[in-house]
Structure 1
Amino acid sequence: MSVFQTNAQKVKIDGVAVVVGKNIVLDSDIEKFKQEVELRSEGKITISNCEMLEELMQQKLLSHHAIIDSVTVSDPEINARVDRSVQFFTQQYGSLDKVIQAYGFNDLTDLKEELYAVQKENLLVEKEQIKITEKVDVTPEEVRLYYNGLKEKGELPEFAAEIELAQLVMNAEPTPEENKKVIDKLKEIRQEVLEGASFRLKAIINSKDPGVTRDNGRIVVTKEASLIKEFKEVSFSLEKGQISEPFKTMYGYHIILLHEIKGNTRIVSHILMQPEIPEARLQEIKFKVEEIKRDIEAGKLTFEEAVKKFSDDKESKNNNGLIINPYTGESRFELTRMDPAMYARVNELETGEFSDVFYDQSSGGEKMYKFILMRDKTDTHKAGFVDDYVKVQDLALKKKKEEAIEKWAKDKIKDTYIKIGEDYKNCTFEKNWKKEVNK
C-alpha cells in the first residue's frame, strides 16, 4: 500500500464504501488508490473499484486485528518512517512547500499528523502479518515441489543479471590550512549575524547546501530523524535564537541557528561550507591510485592486500573492498537497477576485470579516486534449482506465507463486523466479505 494510505489528500466527507471492525474505507479512497496503482505501473495495470476495495478491506482487517492481538508500535518507529516519507516526497516534488500544496495540507504539522496515522497503520499491518507467519517455514522437499511445479507449468521465473563488486578508494583530504580557512569564515559569519545580519541571506550566499533556498532554509529536526548524529546533537544543545559554533560532519563544517522549539522537535537553519582541495592534490591522489592498480595487475600485491593497505572507504575496507547493496543489505546488485553512472562503468566488465580509475564524490562532498573490481557476474537466466536454490526457497516461503495470511483472513472475516455500502454489494470478491452462507 502507498505511504499515504487513506489519508493522502484532504477530501470532503464522502460516501462510506465499507466498514471493517472499527475501520472505514471511503469512496474517495478507492479512486485515489486506483489512480496510484495505474500511475506506478505506468498504465500497465488497471484495477476495478471492486478489486481495489478488496485490497483495502484486507488492509483494514489486518490493522483491526493487530489492535485486538495487542500488537504495539512505538512513536520512534512511526516518526522515523514519517521523516523518511517527508524526505522522499520532498525529493520527488523538489520542495516541502510543493508537497504540502500537492496533497492539500495546511502546513508541515498537518502533513506529519496525516503521515503519522498512515505509518502507524502500515506498521500494525506489517507486524500482524509477521505474527501470523512467524512459524511458517519451508522444507527442502517443499522447495523442490514448488520448483518442479513452476517448471511443469512453464512458469519458472527469470532472474535478472546480477553482479558483485569490490572497490579501492582513496580520499583527497583538505589541508589543515583549508580547514582553518572555512572555520574562520563561519566564525566571521556567526559574529555578523549576532550583530544583526540576516542568517538566511548569509546562507544563500555562502552555504553549499542547495536546500537553503527551499522552505526558507528551515529544517525540521527530531531525535528519530534520519539526519547525521552531530547535526542532531548540536540542534538539541541550543537555546531558541542561539547560533552554534562551527562544527564538523561528514558533509563539511556547519553553523546552526535554532528558530523554534516544539516539544521534541527543533526548527533550525544552517550554513554548510566545505574546504577547498587544490587540483594538485587531486592529481596526486589519482596518480597514486593508478599506480596501485598497475601493481595489482603486475602481480606485486593482491587486490585484497591493496584494499587493506590503502583504501579509505570504511564500509568496504575491512571486507576486502566488497560493496554492499544499501537497498537489500546483500552483496549482489541487479545490473539493470544500478545507478546509471555506475552501470556505464561496470556493464562491460567480466569477472576478475577492473574498471578504469575514476573521480567520484560522496553525498557528503568528499572527493576521491577509485576503481572497481568485478568480483562475480551472473547473466539473465531462467531459475535453476541448484544455482538459484536460495532465491527459489525465498519464493516458496513467500508463497506459503501469503497462503497462511489468506487462510487467516478467511477465518477472521467470519467473526469481524463488516458492512459493505450499497454501491459495492454487487461486487464479486475472492473472499467471503459479504458472509454469504454457501460461499
Structure 2
Amino acid sequence: MMQFKIKTLKNTSILLTFFLSGLVAVNAQQTKIDGVAVVVGKNIVLDSDIDKFKQEVEVRSEGKIQISNCEMLEELMQQKLLAHHGIIDSVVVSQPDIDSKVQRSIAYFTKEYGSEEKVIKAYGFNDIEDLKKELARVQAENILIEKEQLKITEKVDVTPEEIRVYFKGLKDKNELPEIPAQVEIAQLVLNAEPTKEENDRIINKLNQIKKHVEAGASFKLKAIINSDDPSVSQNSGNMGVITKETNFVKEFKEIAFSLEEGQISEPFKSPFGYHIILLNKIRGNGRDVSHILMQPEIADDKLKETKGAIENIVKDIKNGKITFEEAVKKFSEEDETKNNGGLIINPYTQETTFELTRMPPDLFGRISELKQGDLSDIFYDETREGEKMYKVILLKKKTDTHKANLVDDYVRLQEFALAKKKEEVIVKWSNEKIEETYIKLGNDYKDCVFKKDWKKENK
C-alpha cells in the first residue's frame, strides 16, 4: 500500500499491520514496569509501547514514515478508543477469526526469519505455544478494532461525482499519488504425488512402530530415529499440551482428543504426511501429546513424469490449443487458485495485485523480466508440509509506475476517496466518543499537540 499526504483509513491499517510485530516484541521482551502514557477507558498505553511501535513503523516503512512520540501516542489512543467502544458495542470476535489471523502471522514471521525456532528466539518466547498465545491476544484486539471501524463506516459510500471532485482536488494541489508498478499473476500447479505403494509402506512402518511401543519400546527413541518432523531433535516428538483452540491442523486435534491416556493412535494422514500420536496425559482441557511424522518419498521418476506433464500443457498453451485459464481449470492441482483462473492473491492486501518491488524475492526473480501475457519458465517448488510440485506463472497484467489518472486508476481512486470519506466519519465519531470516554494522559505527554481533543480542553 502506498503513503501520500492525505491521511486515510488505509494509513491507519498500515500502522495496525506494523503494530502486530511491535506488540509481540513489547510483550515478549518487557522486563520492567513501564510508565503509563495514557489510559483510554480500560485500556492502557505504556511508554515502551510508543517507543517500540514508533521504531517498528520506521523499520517496516523503510524510513518512509517518520512519526513523533506525540503522533504515535495519538495513533495508539485512536486504536484503544475503537477497542474500548467495540466492547461496549458488543462486537463479536470469534475464535476461528483469531486462529486464522494467528496462523497467517506465524507463516509471515516464519518466512521472514526462516523457521519457527528463529521466530521464537527473535521475540524472546519460551516456545511456539507462548508465541501463539501472545499473537492471539494481539489479533483479538486487532479484529475488535477492525470490526468496530466497519460498524461505524458500513453505510458510507462515494458517488462518481465525489470521486471526480476528489481527483480534481488532488490534481489542483499537485498531490496526485504515484501509483507504483504493479502486476497481476496466475499460476498452474501440478503436484508430484507419492505412489500408493509408498503410502502403504509408510502406513505399515508406523503400524510396526506402534506395535513395538505397545510392547515396551521407547516412543521418544522411535521418534528421534524415525520422525520427519524438523523439531524432533529439540523435543523428541513431544508436542506439549494442546487444546481444541491450539492452532494445529484439524486432523491432528481430532485424533489427539479421541485417545485415552497412554493410548497410541492408528496411523492417520494430515497435510504434513502420516502420523501416529501417543497421548501422554490429560491435563484439564488440554492433552499432552507426542507424535511421529513420516512423509512419503517421491521417486525421481514421479518428479520427471510431473515435469513432463506440465511441459506438455505449457506447449499446448503456447500453440494456442488451450488457454491458460482453461488449462488451470482442467489440470491445476492447487485448490486455492484452480477455480479463479490461477490468480494468486496477495496475502498482505487480499487483492489480486502485487507491487512489483515489494514481491517476495523468489517470485520477483521469476517474473520481473516478463512482459504482459508471458509465461515464466517451469520451476520446481515444495511446501513446508513436504508437498512437491512444478509450476508455471502467467504475467496477466503489468502497469508501470505513474501518476494516478481517472482512466487507468478509477478503481483505486474510488478506494482512496471512499477511505477519505470513511476517515472523516471516524474522526467525527471519535470526537463524539472522546467526550464520553475516560481518558487520563501521563504527565510526560500533557504538552503534546493533538489533532483531536484528547485533553478535553475544548468543552
So what's the TM-score if we normalise by structure 1?
Answer: 0.86
Question: In structure 1, what residue type is equivalent to 2:67?
Answer: I
- Partner residue in 2 for 1:425: 446
Matches within 5 A, 1:38-57: 38-42=58-62, 45-57=65-77
Cα distance in 2 between the residues matched to 1:255 and 1:378:
50
Work out which of the residue numbers 205, 217, 224 in structure 2 matches 1:197.
Answer: 217
SS at match of 1:237: coil
- Partner residue in 2 for 1:177: 197
Cα distance in 1 between the residues matched to 2:328 and 2:106:
38
Matching of residue 277 in structure 1 with residue 298 in structure 2: yes
Matching of residue 368 in structure 1 with residue 368 in structure 2: no
Cα distance in 2 between the residues matched to 1:171 and 1:55:
46
- Partner residue in 1 for 2:269: 248
- Partner residue in 1 for 2:366: 345
Contact 2:367–2:395 (8 Å) recurs in 1: yes
Which range moved further: 209-218 or 83-92? 83-92
Question: In structure 2, what residue type is equivalent to 1:279?
Answer: D
SS at match of 2:257: helix
Work out which of the residue numbers 221, 246, 253 in structure 2 matches 1:232.
Answer: 253
- Partner residue in 2 for 1:23: 43
Q: CA deviation at 1:394?
A: 0.8
Unaligned runs of 5+ in 2: 1-15
- Partner residue in 2 for 1:400: 421
- Partner residue in 2 for 1:128: 148
So what's the TM-score if we normalise by structure 2?
Answer: 0.83
The structure-2 alpha-carbon separation of the partners of 1:53 and 1:206, relative to structure 1 and needing over 3 Å to count, comes to: same
Matching of residue 258 in structure 1 with residue 282 in structure 2: no
Cα distance in 2 between the residues matched to 1:10 and 1:175:
51
Cα distance in 2 between the residues matched to 1:24 and 1:309:
54
Matching of residue 145 in structure 1 with residue 181 in structure 2: no
Q: CA deviation at 1:143?
A: 1.0
Which range moved further: 158-167 or 182-191? 158-167
Cα distance in 2 between the residues matched to 1:283 and 1:239:
44
Let me know the Cα RMSD of the aligned residues. Answer: 3.2
Deviations 1:327-384 (A, max 9, x none): 4444333333333222222222222222222222234322222322222222222222
The structure-2 alpha-carbon separation of the partners of 1:139 and 1:266, relative to structure 1 and needing over 3 Å to count, comes to: farther
Identical counterparts, % of pairs? 64
Work out which of the residue numbers 354, 359, 369 in structure 2 matches 1:333.
Answer: 354
The structure-2 alpha-carbon separation of the partners of 1:351 and 1:218, relative to structure 1 and needing over 3 Å to count, comes to: same
Cα distance in 2 between the residues matched to 1:110 and 1:361:
28
Which range moved further: 279-288 or 319-328? 319-328
Question: In structure 1, what residue type is equivalent to 2:84?
Answer: H
Cα distance in 2 between the residues matched to 1:302 and 1:86:
36
Cα distance in 1 between the residues matched to 2:405 and 2:284:
56
Work out which of the residue numbers 92, 98, 101 in structure 2 matches 1:72.
Answer: 92
Q: CA deviation at 1:264?
A: 4.3
Contact 1:90–1:99 (8 Å) recurs in 2: no
Contact 2:223–2:236 (8 Å) recurs in 1: no
- Partner residue in 2 for 1:61: 81
SS at match of 1:28: helix
Which range moved further: 107-116 or 349-358? 107-116
Contact 2:237–2:292 (8 Å) recurs in 1: no
Deviations 1:219-247 (A, max 9, x none): 46444444333222222222233221111
Cα distance in 2 between the residues matched to 1:388 and 1:207:
52
Contact 2:120–2:127 (8 Å) recurs in 1: no
Contact 1:38–1:46 (8 Å) recurs in 2: yes
- Partner residue in 2 for 1:34: 54
Q: CA deviation at 1:68?
A: 2.8
SS at match of 2:381: strand
Question: In structure 2, what residue type is equivalent to 1:285?
Answer: T
Cα distance in 2 between the residues matched to 1:365 and 1:262:
31
Cα distance in 2 between the residues matched to 1:115 and 1:173:
34
SS at match of 1:419: strand
